[in-house]
Amino acid sequence: EITAENFEKYLTNSYLDTTQDKREYFNIILFATLILLMIMILICFITGILGMIFDLIPIILNIHKGLSILLVFFLAIHIYVYHKKMRI
């Protein structure tokens, strides 16, 4: 039970304590991976639209299919790792 006497102690011991200095470091590998995935998603979107416009050029649809499969693969890895961290 929180009372006026133990209020400060409760705040210090709670998980909401923001007095501790938490540093977040910039990770260049993670940043490069995110940029690469965003570029792949953009290319996949553009090739999908171009594939609908230019039906006679099958290379555009092949690029779109390959990128789509690769992005679904990355999504599956992300879901697996995220749920693995959530179980701990």
Top-confidence residue, 83 or 42: 42
pLDDT at 20 (0 to 100): 56
Checking if the pLDDT of 42 tops 90, the result is yes
Which residue is listed with tokens 């649809």? Answer: 61
Least confident piece of the model among 30-34, 36-40, 69-73 = 30-34
pLDDT of residue 53: 87
pLDDT at 58 (0 to 100): 87
Angle between helical axes of 58-87 and 28-53 (0-180°, round to 10):
140
Distance CA 61, CA 65 (A): 6
Q: Which residues contact 60 (CB under 8 A, 6 or more apart)?
A: 47, 50, 51, 54
